Amino acid sequence: MTPEEEKILLFINVSMKDYVDVQIKHLQENIDDRFEAMDIASRKDDLLISAKFDAVNHTKDLLKDLTLLSFPRSEHDIYRIKTDAEIADLRESRAESKGKASQSSVSLGYFFTALTFGLALATLIHSFMIK
């Protein structure tokens, strides 16, 4: 039997008050079902929104950490200028010292030259005394 036929039978067999009471009961059940469905949907939405906010907050924290660890462009430019100047100074000092001995090397060379000269002189003197 279709809902229309049920209504007709209810209307024929019962009084108007009973019919209205039954209709109100059906409407109340439908309204309760709808409110329950809305509550379930509302709870699901709350969970989804909470999960989305957690993901957004996590991303926000990651970006905050990244900005703390990152090297700003202005600081990079200053660092690059400083290192370029230091590299240029190193190249200049290498070009100046290229082919030149350091002071310790020159002193060591003079020492060995003097030692060799002294030994040669001692050998020459010794060879004259033996004859």
pLDDT tens digits, 55-98: 999 999 998 888 888 778 888 889 999 999 999 888 888 766 66
DSSP class of residue 108?
Answer: H
Q: How far apart are CA 63 and CA 69, in angstroms?
A: 10
User: Which pLDDT band holds residue 43 (cuts at 50, 70, 90)?
Assistant: very high
| CA nearest neighbour of 130 among 119, 122, 118 | 122
pLDDT at 32 over 80: yes
Worst-scoring range by mean pLDDT, 9-13, 36-40, 53-57, 116-120? 9-13
